[in-house]
Structure 1
Amino acid sequence: MTHNPFNILIEKNALTGPNYVDWLRNLRIVLNLARIRYILEANIPTEPPPEASKEEQDVYLKWLEDDLRVRSYMLASMSSDLQSSHEKMSDARSVLLHLQELYGEHSRTARYEISRELFRAKMSEGGEVGEHVLKMISMIERLEALDFSMDYNLQVDLILQSLPDSFSQFIVNFNMNEIECTLAGLLNKLVSTQSQMKTKGKDAVALTISTSRPS
């Protein structure tokens, strides 16, 4: 079954604020496919005078049509709050520039939104720990790209504190043994533990953790 890339953009990557960079990357992919990405990059043309040639008029009319499509794609793939803030803007470039001011790579707003999502992250009981921790690591890396670095131990604590009660024994063992590992290493340990719990049951799993130091 063929999936419409725009539907995927709306369903999986709708803009909420903190995910601006990912949203913009996926939007550009969709616009490339539709051959209208130039709307976000080219200068806005001046409306030709009435005496302009048909070719000039046609070029301008095509730009208006393509700009409407891009602006519609952008608005349709936003949260309702962001739609309300941008729906009256006259062209797609204006929408993009405003979003860059709010959520661009060096925006204080972006740092605030990402850190809020990170500190509030909670994994639901029965969820996939790999997907959850990968998302948290991604947010940590995005904050580092915004010149907001956290102590390694705080990063680990945030991840462990976000886990459901079924990982309580893992957390106890991890802290008692004072394990040092990379975030990727922690991810692997958690995925392995969840796999054991699914196979043997939570109470039957021996949550043993290697005490070796990372190289």
Structure 2
Amino acid sequence: MAGVISFDSSRVPMLCGDNFSNWKDKVLLALGCMDLDLVLRGDEPPMPTESSTQESKAVYKRWERSNRLSLILIKSNVSKSIRGSIPECDKVTDFMKAIEEQFVKSNKALASTLMQKLSGMKYDNSKSVREHIMEMRDIAAQLKSLEIEISESFLVNFILNSLPL
């Protein structure tokens, strides 16, 4: 394994709810650097039989090792509260899909909540106008991180409409 790049798996953040995209990027980097991403790069090879060649047995053994160690690494970097809501899976690809489905659902709900908050905001004199505008810009930035782009002119329109005449 001369081509394997060293990677400290403790650099993978704990998946805790609001960091899915960053967590996934770090997990994929870690698995790639540790040469454990074989399971993510191709389909499961056929399970060897008595008549299988040594080469096909070796391929399956490498795939099985990649799957087992990848599952260990991924599960160890998912908080227990999230892990409990994800069905038990024997394969990394199934486990990653299950995690992603959880976050697609929660991201849609979060995006809807943020849009409602942004569109319903009104300046109430409890803070400065600048702070009010910065809060609205922060919500727009959160929406952008959820891949919902709000144009600058649209945001300015929201801000102006939230201010008193």
TM-score, normalised to structure 2, is 0.64
Tell me how many residue pairs correspond in the alignment: 136
Q: Deviations over 1:8-55 (max 9, x none)?
A: 21xxx2112332111111111111210122322311222122221122
Tell me if structure 1 keeps the 8 A contact 2:140–2:155.
Answer: no
Match of 1:169 in 2: none
Which amino acid letter does the alignment assign opposite residue 20 of structure 1?
A: F
Matched to 1:83, the amino acid is R
Structure 1: give runs of 5+ residues left out of the alignment.
120-132, 157-174, 176-215
Gaps of 5+ in 2: 1-5, 118-134
1:40, 1:92 within 8 Å by CA — same for their partners in 2? yes
Q: Which residue of 1 aligns with 2:9?
A: 6
The percentage of counterpart residues that share the same residue type is: 14
> Partners in 2 of 1:108 and 1:5 — Cα distance?
31
Q: Deviations over 1:156-215 (max 9, x none)?
A: 8xxxxxxxxxxxxxxxxxx9xxxxxxxxxxxxxxxxxxxxxxxxxxxxxxxxxxxxxxxx
Number of the residue aligned with 1:140: 143
Map of 2:22 onto structure 1: 22
Counterparts of 1:137 and 1:38, CA distance in 2: 38
CA RMSD of aligned residues (A): 3.6
- Match for residue 110 of structure 1 among 107, 110, 122: 107
Deviations 1:117-161 (A, max 9, x none): 9x8xxxxxxxxxxxxx9x977523223x146889636998xxxxx
TM-score by length of 1: 0.51
1:152 aligns with 2:158: no
